[in-house]
Structures are given as C-alpha cells and as structure tokens.
A and B are shown apart, each in its own frame.
Chain A
C-alpha cells in the first residue's frame, strides 16, 4: 500500500526487487508514520511553522511570561492614552480605550488557539466517528447520514453562527468553537467515509473476516489505522482555517464579545481609525495572519509528508 511507494528503485518491474536483503542487519523499522516524520524533519517549512506554533502555544498557555500586565486588571486601560502610537514600554501603542495593544494581542492568542484546537478536535472526533459508522454500515443508514451531512455542509457559516448565537443568547469562545464544529464536521466525515469504504474491500479485511473477526476488531484494528493519515492532514490544515473563522465571526460581532479579547474583535474596533492610527489594526491583524499562515504551512508540509498519493 502506501509504503510500497516510498522506496522505488525500479518502478516498472514491481516491488519484488525492493525486498530487503533477508540476511542483512536489522534495518530501521519503516512505517508510514516513521517515514513521514523522517521526511518532515528535513523540510525547512516544517521547522519554521513548527517554531512559530510552539511560540504561539506558549503565548496561549502562559501569556504572563511575556507581559507583566493583565488586560483584565483594574486601571489597565487609561483613556488618556487613547489611540496613542507605539512608544517605549508600549511597543504596539494603545487602542481607542487606551488599553495596551501588545498585552491585548498576547492575551488574545489564547482564544484563537482555543477555538482552533477545540474545533479541530470536535470536528475530527465527530466527523471521524460518524464517517466510520456510515462507511461500515453502508446502505440506507449511510445514505441518510450523508444527506444530513450535506445539509450542514451547505449551511453558510454566518447564518449558522447567527442562528446558534440567537439560540444560546450570548456568545463566547466556546460557542464559537461549537458553531465551527457543527458546521465543519461534514468535511472530516466525507474524507473518513471515503477512506473507510476504500479500505473495507481490501483483502486484509476479508482475511480478518475469514478468521472470524468481529465488526469492532475489523473497524479498529484493520480499517481505522489505515484511514488516519489523510485525517491527520486535514485536521492540521483545519487548525488554521478555524482560527481565521473565529476572527471573522468576532469581527462581525457574532463571535467573542467584549470584554473578552479576540484578534477579530480588535481588528473590528480598529478599522474605523486605521488611516490615522494604523498600529491598532496592524498588530492584531499581523498576529492573526502569522498564526493562520503557520498552521496552513504546517498542514501543507504534513500533507506532503503523509499523503501517499503525493509521493
């Protein structure tokens, strides 16, 4: 399967020639994951995006390491500094409320990462499980689930967001994550279902059935491990996509609400005055772009390393 493509001394003549010397010394145990990891470590794009993401994670977990102020403490904002530009000690300047933009940008990382990670976990779990079930059951159950997934797939994110917000009443980072998951699972579902169907007719599944293996063993031992690579790739890409989506929703006022901090919200606040004081827009927008870029870049290299079809 996928691994056979990795070593390819003689493409036309088939794989027999690739047999390792049977008497040779024990060589490194190759598997898709190992080969992918080996491949990844040699890509500069991976190292760059990985470094940025590690920094972002530290920012999200411990913003206090990077700024001594807390944006939620009393007296953090000082209206007398409203829209002041960057200066010593306040490198990013102040926003319209007179709050320090650097501190707010640092603290805003957390919400972006939370939305990205939570939405990705939820969509992967939801889409993955439903995809396995639909792929294995087949028949009318599969048809039904597929049609339902298409309804969610067709729903625009904005309308979905408004709808759920009006149902819940208020919205914060968690509701945003739920909205994105509810609307995003069909993507993972489709890939998972396709992979399961593609794998369930393989001879090794037939071999397991011939041995008397039950459906659980077939699903978890034989089908699932062979479907994970594309799911991992899509999920990595989705991290960046969901972070951007959160910013969009917050920007439009149906995401994270003030006084909670979000880059999207900061951009929205700053847009009216961006000609006179561009710094208020530039720094949160830059942070957002860098974050999304890092995750998309990671997804891209992960795909190159793990998607056997691209090898």
Chain B
C-alpha cells in the first residue's frame, strides 16, 4: 500500500527534506483505517511539502477581477516528528498563522501537500477528513473569541463528543468532560458556567480541554499564551508540557515570543514573509543562527537582565516588512539585510545546509535559506 514517490520540486522549494512515504488509500474506508496506525516516537507524523497559500486580491463589486494575490505562505516544507514540539516563529504577516490554518484544513491550500501518516490531508474530504480532525487539534490564540459565549463550559468541552459520538457513549460524556476539566486544572464543578465567568488563563485551559477531548496525536498551538499575563503564561506552558508527556502529543507551537518558543520547542523554524528562513534544533537556532534575519530577530528580543543587555550586540533592522502581495525578488529578506548583494535579488536562496558547513561537525550545519550564511551568536553577552 505504501510506496515512495519522487516529487517534482520547484526551484524555491526545500531540496533536502526526507521523502514522504505516501499511503495510497483507494477508499475512504482504507483511509480511515490508515489514520489509526501508530507512529513510532521520533518518526515523522506530519510532513509538510511545498505548502502554498495565495489569497486573491480582487477588484470590482459585481464582476470580480483578480488583480493580484497576497502570498501569505509561499512554499513551506518541514517535518513534525512524533512526540516533539516544533516551534514556528516570525513576525506578524510572516504567514505562520496561515500555516496553522492550512494544517487544520481550515483554509484550502493553493498548492502543496500536508501528509499526516502518509496521507495528503489537503485532498481529503468527508469521513476521512473528519477522522483526521479527530487526530489533529488546535489551540487558538485569543481565549476571548475562541469560546462560544452562548455555550456553557460543559457544552464547549463536550461538543467534540457530539460531533464524534463514537469516541464516547452518551452517558459517559459528562464524566469525561469533568475529567478533562480536572486534567487542565479547572474545577470540574464549574461545568455549567459560561466562558466570561473565567479569567483569560482559565479560558485558555478550557480551550486546551476541548482540544484534548478527542485524544488527538498532534496539536497545533497558534500563539496559545500571547494573550495571557506573564504569571499565567508560565502556568499554561507548564500545563502544556505536562500534557505532552502524559498523552504523548506532538506540538506545533506557533508564537512570536522567542523566549517561550525556545523554552518549549525541540526544533524551531523561523519564517519570514511566507517562507522558512532557517530551521534546526533549538540549540542550532538560538546559539548558532546562520540566517541574518534570525540573528536580527534574536538580538532584538528584550532580555529581562539589564547587565546582559548592555553587553549584547543588537542588530537594529531598518524599515518594515514588505507587503506579502508584492514580495521582493530573490531573497525576501534582502531589502532589510545588511549583507545583501546583487545575487540576493536574482537568486532565491534554498533552505538547505549552507555549502560551507556541509559535512562539518558543527551546530551551524543546519538548514538556512541564505546565500551568505555565517554563524553569529547574538543571545549571549
């Protein structure tokens, strides 16, 4: 049933991601069965290949003409391994939230594939898609808009069971919901309360309980703590780490806070203007960044330590992020990059281990989409 396929990879894609073992399910029945197959720890569970999402820009009211496209995600590839946390960082407009929506099938990809256990979920529909939804869940950024204000906590956390009745028999649901509330640190007796009776951190716990209800294997977290207070952030982060161990979850953790991403992630990808600029283990990215954008981003993070701060080198970027509707040619970062040369406007840098580090036994040898990649430590004094 499984057969590796060779893919036709465009010039700007990632050449050295592993090949996907595609599961070819002929019927929906087979597809659903394949989704239940276990994945070994450390093996890829989610494989994203050349993912593209363009939002058309239209003009006219009655007859709409397309006059361009916002290239929110423009050829992103990565693997998520079972049991790990992959952090995705980047500034607003880099496309990281769109990636989350594409992985969740909340938006239809313009092109590219997302393989979950070898099946391309961007092509699924009906029962097979519903089965995928059981296994991939999401935690949203805003705990105020992600819970229906007209539903009680019990209804919100229990809704997954109404949609997937096979997971829990009817009589069992209330008990299961209360168990979930307990797991995320809420009082199970509050099952009949409404969301607005809870604080932001508690609401985020409700969202997490809803995400856990169907026993998913992958959870996509889109800025799960950025709306929370500092002291509450730590509680939620700790809870998420504890749940990962307990339920053997794989996380994709999307955030703009680089310190939190480092804390929780095993591997980190840095996105800029719809593309992946650099990806590697947390140590590779934070201690040995080779892409100038990563270096600038890390150096700009305010550190709660005035002395370390004064000694750290800071790279202050000039200008703003260009519009994703009209991205620069070649390397997208070149308009703000201090290293940019003619080559950068002519040739798209591939996300690959830079030539100079290839084969070398150094943490700098990780994938970086820069023609002039070189290592630079910016987080230490």
Q: Which residues of A contact B (CB under 8 A)?
A: 1-4, 14-16, 18-20, 22, 27, 29-32, 143, 202-204, 206-214, 217, 221-222, 225-226
Contacts and interface: CB of A to CB of B under 8 A. Distances in A.
A14 B106 CA distance: 29
A15 B204 CA distance: 13
B59 interface: no
B149 A210 contact: no
B163 A213 contact: yes
Interface string B131-171: 00110011011101111111100000001101110000000
14 contacts: A3-B194, A3-B196, A16-B201, A29-B197, A143-B62, A206-B101, A206-B146, A210-B104, A210-B133, A211-B133, A212-B129, A212-B133, A213-B163, A225-B148
B16 interface: no
A285 B378 CA distance: 83
B196 A4 contact: yes
A27 B194 CA distance: 12
Pairs of residues from A and B, 3 with the lowest C-beta to C-beta distance, nearest first = A19-B199, A203-B146, A212-B133
Contact of A226 (B62, B137, B148, B196): B148
A49 to B, nearest CB: 27
B47 to A, nearest CB: 20
A212 B134 contact: yes
A185 B296 CA distance: 57
Q: Which label, helix, strand, loop or mixed, suits the secondary structure of the A interface?
A: helix
A212 to B, nearest CB: 4
A7 to B, nearest CB: 8
A212 B202 CA distance: 24
B146 A204 contact: yes
A200 to B, nearest CB: 12
Q: Which of B144, B148, B163, B193 has the most CB of A within 10 A?
A: B148
Interface footprint category on B = 35 or more
Nearest to B62: A143
B200 interface: yes
Given A204-B146, A206-B140, A29 B194 contact: yes
B133 to A, nearest CB: 4
A207 B210 contact: yes
Given A31-B150, A221-B159, 18 more contacts: A1-B144, A3-B194, A15-B144, A16-B199, A16-B200, A20-B197, A29-B193, A30-B196, A202-B145, A203-B141, A203-B146, A204-B146, A206-B101, A206-B138, A210-B137, A211-B137, A211-B159, A221-B151
Contact of A204 (B134, B147, B232): B147
Given A29-B192, A217-B163, A207 B149 contact: no
A221 B141 CA distance: 22
B198 interface: yes
B149 A212 contact: no
Given A1-B144, A3-B149, A210 B106 contact: yes
B197 A30 contact: yes
Contacts of A3: 149, 194, 196
B149 A1 contact: yes
B199 A226 contact: no
Interface centre among A27, A29, A206, A222 (most CB of B within 10 A): A206
B45 to A, nearest CB: 18
Contacts of A1: 144-145, 149, 196
Nearest to B149: A1
B187 interface: yes
Given A30-B194, A31-B194, A226-B150, A204 B133 contact: no
A90 to B, nearest CB: 54
Given A207-B138, A210-B106, A222 B197 contact: no
A207 B192 CA distance: 20
A231 B355 CA distance: 64
Contacts of B214: 211
A203 B129 CA distance: 20
B343 interface: no
Contacts of B380: none
Contact of B148 (A14, A16, A18, A222): A222
Nearest to A205: B148
A211 B164 CA distance: 9
Interface string B176-195: 00000000000100001110
Nearest to B127: A212
B130 interface: yes
A19 B202 contact: yes
Given A207-B138, A211-B163, A222-B148, A19 B210 contact: no
B106 A226 contact: no
Contacts of A31: 150, 194
Nearest to A20: B197
A132 to B, nearest CB: 15
B307 interface: no
Nearest to A203: B146
A241 B121 CA distance: 53
Nearest to A13: B229
Contact of A2 (B140, B148, B149, B232): B149
Contacts of A214: 163
Nearest to A213: B163
Contacts of A4: 144, 196
Contacts of B141: 203
A3 B148 CA distance: 11
Given A3-B149, A202-B145, A204-B147, A209 B196 contact: no
B184 to A, nearest CB: 14
A161 B223 CA distance: 57
Nearest to B134: A212
Nearest to A22: B187
